[in-house]
Amino acid sequence: MTMKIFVPRDATAVAVGADEVVAAFAQTAEKRGLPIEIVRTGSRGLHWLEPMVEVATLKGRVAYGPVSSEDVASVFESMASNGPHALRLGVADEIPWLKRQTRLTFARCGVIDPRSLEDYRAHGGYKGLERALSLGSDAILAEVTASGLRGRGGAGFPTGIKWKTVAQAKADRKFIVCNADEGDSGTFADRMIMEGDPFLVIEGMTTAGITVGATKGYIYIRSEYPHAVEAMKAAIIAARRGGYLGDKIGGSTTSFDMEVRVGAGAYVCGEETSLLESLEGRRGLVRAKPPLPAHHGLFGKPTVINNVLSFAAIPFILAEGAKAYADFGMGRSRGTMPIQLAGNIRQGGLFETAFGVTLGELVDDIGGGTFTGRPVRAVQVGGPLGAYFPRALFDAPFDYEAFAARDGLIGHGGIVVFDDSVDMRKQARFAMEFCAIESCGKCTPCRIGSTRGVETIEKIIRGDRVSENLALVEDLCNTMKFGSLCALGGFTPYPVLSALKHFREDFIPAPTTLQAAE
Amino acid sequence: MTAVYEPRYEPWDETRGAEIIAEHAKQEGATLVILHALQEAFGYVPEAAIPMVAQALNLSRAEVHGVFTFYHDFRHKPAGRHVLKLCRAEACQAAGGDALAARAEAKLGVSLGNTTADDRVTLEPIYCLGLCSTAPSAMLDGRLVGRLDEKRIDALVAEAQR
């Protein structure tokens, strides 16, 4: 019997040797004269176990990890004989870290072959679109609104309201734009879903298209993600061939097609209006709002612009109904959030769960603390524009409002863990420096403020009039927060002010005898 | 073993440049698409191509120049034979990326953003490869490498210098 082996082609797995593992399996199989079939999947998200390899058995898929090419010969032996192995993790679906998740969006990621439309359909793909086509625009809008889905890019705006605005707009052309410019450090959920389940994103965008009356979609992917670009392009071709993109999609009377556009290394293009400018072929300068993209978006036409994860949540909502989604979560944060555990963390990866899990559970329990073994001192939540949280705030539940109440944001759901060797002055300085590098330059608080911020924090680091300069940084942060045109300048104060507030001891120099003498 | 990525670029040629531009000019908002295609072919966007793009898209030369200079990706001159990008964002910082970046700089004798005198290696910062759970990470000519440590960064630097 042919042994069926699954190895991720996800960039994370490839970066730690998945391609070499595949080559080693092919070699071993040939040497042993045993036929094997290798399926390249996405990643299940247990990144500390990557490359995680699975083999199909009668009891389900049995996982091994982390497998290096040197381990392959013995792992192969264990697979062929169903024998023990030090790297054997048991049936993949039963691994506790996976089992305790609520995988609505990532249900198929790491399971199916992302290049195969048939595999996608066999695992429930396109059920949502089929139902959407039978429902019609108003009923779809009602479902999306009732699901409580909010924009997963970070802003948390209700998706149903956004779609309704575009549906009601009158225009000769409308567009669907998917924001796949996932530039936040500590986030990789968009990348994983594009690489591991690209048809899901296509299905979500197509559903948006039929809902609002748009026939053309663009997915804007950052250039740092070549694997995702390749996966999305391949999936679009396959969807077209299968009748799910192009004229008369899924046998209906509606048409929708889409294409991939690649960014060029500008972080600010993750801001929706900057992204639209970039798609139009211009410098990624942020536009003043209003007018909203829903009225005046791409090429001046009404445009739905959503994050990858927002579109990816849609097929489940349509297939299973709004209630099935809204039953998860807390307060006004309904459904699930794919949370990304990163940085100095023992068990890093993707953990999808209902809103409401606490930061402490995520970092200490699920993440297992730091890989250096030192105590966790700070975690940055929500990317370079997110606040640094101390352990004292680890009781915060993962929820839009709860984080806002603690002067933070959940952003795109990335959590970067730092141990006690972190120098928070350095992190505060970096936040300003990053803003200075990436500022589009259109508004003064962001363009000039960030550079002045770097200079002032450097003075503090040098011990130059510390309390005066600390006050100046706080004042500058307020100017940036309230005076900037978009979230880049407006949110850079979050990491800076949170570092100042929660880690004040790093900024105040220890009193020296010289100062005491003065 | 993974094949070593050896980027091969064509020397700048006006006719070839014009062909590439014409191939993409009909798309809506084609400027970035064309600049990417030119860089993919020649390894950089030659100065001479800017007015050609402008003419094809009915834009001013200043507009195209403005787009070209806005984005970090586009090069105005060829990079070194190998490009080593080190992720310098927060997740990699948290995992010891600062020390590894300093180590690579010292080994190559150039700071981030520069090319070695022999034109072999361009060392660049990159703000997030999305491999934040297996940090620190790097990319050598399009090949991703995660879980960097001193040994791995030394091997990458040596490979880039070859």
- What pLDDT was estimated at residue B8? 79
C-alpha dist (Å) from residue B2 to A73, A304, A506: 18, 41, 44
Q: Residue B98 in contact with residue B125, Cβ under 8 Å?
A: no
Residue of A nearest to B72 (CA): A265
Q: How many residues does chain B have?
A: 162
- What pLDDT was estimated at residue A144? 98
User: Do residue A224 and residue B129 have CB atoms under 8 angstroms apart?
Assistant: yes
How many Å apart are CA A56 and CA A79, to the nearest integer? 9
- What pLDDT was estimated at residue A352? 98
Confidence band for A517, pLDDT divided at 50, 70 and 90 = very low
Side chain identity at A308, as an amino acid letter? V
Give the rounded distance of the alpha carbon of A217 from its chain centre: 20
Q: How confident is the model over A124-133, as pLDDT tens digits?
A: 999 999 999 9
Determine if the peptide bond prior to A35 is cis (ω within 30°). Answer: no
How many Å apart are CA B12 and CA B148, to the nearest integer? 36
Rounded average pLDDT over A376-385: 97
Residue of A nearest to B57 (CA): A281
Give the rounded distance of the alpha carbon of A152 from its chain centre: 8
Which helix (DSSP H) or strand (DSSP E) does residue A419 occupy?
A: strand A414-419
Residue contacts between A and B (CB atoms, under 8 Å) = 153
User: Do residue B127 and residue A226 have CB atoms under 8 angstroms apart?
Assistant: no
Whether A59 has a pLDDT exceeding 50, the answer reads: yes
Backbone angles phi, psi at A330, to 5 degrees: -140, 150
Q: Which residue(s) pair with B121 in the sheet?
A: B82
User: What integer best gives the mean pLDDT of chain A?
Assistant: 96
Q: Residue A265 in contact with residue B72, Cβ under 8 Å?
A: yes
Number of other CB atoms surrounding residue A466 within 10 Å: 15
| Residue among B57, B95, B145 whose CB faces A15 most closely | B145
User: Do residue A384 and residue B89 have CB atoms under 8 angstroms apart?
Assistant: yes
User: Do residue B131 and residue A11 have CB atoms under 8 angstroms apart?
Assistant: yes
- H helical segments located in A155-225: 159-168, 189-196, 198-212
Min Cα separation A362/chain B (Å): 14
* pTM (2 d.p.): 0.96
User: Do residue A283 and residue B72 have CB atoms under 8 angstroms apart?
Assistant: no
- What pLDDT was estimated at residue A487? 95
User: Do residue A264 and residue B74 have CB atoms under 8 angstroms apart?
Assistant: yes
User: Do residue A348 and residue B92 have CB atoms under 8 angstroms apart?
Assistant: no
- What pLDDT was estimated at residue B3? 45
Q: Residue B157 in contact with residue B145, Cβ under 8 Å?
A: no
Q: Residue A197 in contact with residue A108, Cβ under 8 Å?
A: yes
Rounded average pLDDT over A440-464: 97
Report the percentage of chain A scoring pLDDT > 70: 98
How many Å apart are CA A312 and CA A159, to the nearest integer? 12
Whether A42 has a pLDDT exceeding 50, the answer reads: yes
- What pLDDT was estimated at residue B4? 44
How many Å apart are CA A174 and CA A378, to the nearest integer? 44
Whether B2 has a pLDDT exceeding 80, the answer reads: no
Whether A516 has a pLDDT exceeding 80, the answer reads: no
User: Do residue B31 and residue A281 have CB atoms under 8 angstroms apart?
Assistant: yes
Q: How confident is the model over B101-148, as pLDDT tens digits?
A: 999 999 999 999 999 999 999 999 999 999 999 999 999 999 999 999
Q: How confident is the model over B30-67, as pLDDT tens digits?
A: 999 999 999 999 999 999 999 999 999 999 999 999 99
A241 burial (CB, 10 Å; 0-12 / 13-18 / 19+) is: exposed
Kindly list the strands in the beta sheet with B114-115, ordered across the sheet, starting from the edge strand earlier in the chain.
B114-115, B121-126, B82-87, B138-140, B143-145
- What pLDDT was estimated at residue B7? 56
- What pLDDT was estimated at residue A1? 78
Tokens of A436: 């200075």
User: What integer best gives the mean pLDDT of chain B?
Assistant: 95
- What pLDDT was estimated at residue B1? 38
Min Cα separation A195/chain B (Å): 12
Residue of A nearest to B68 (CA): A283
Confidence band for A512, pLDDT divided at 50, 70 and 90 = low
Contacts of A279 in chain B (CB under 8 A): 29
3-state DSSP call for residue A259? strand
Whether A229 has a pLDDT exceeding 60, the answer reads: yes
Residue of A nearest to B70 (CA): A283
With b meaning 16 or more CB within 10 Å and e meaning fewer, what string describes B19-39? ebbeebbeeebbbbbbbbbbb
| Residue A383 DSSP label | G
ipTM higher than the 0.90 cut: yes
Report the percentage of chain A scoring pLDDT > 90: 97
- What pLDDT was estimated at residue A513? 53
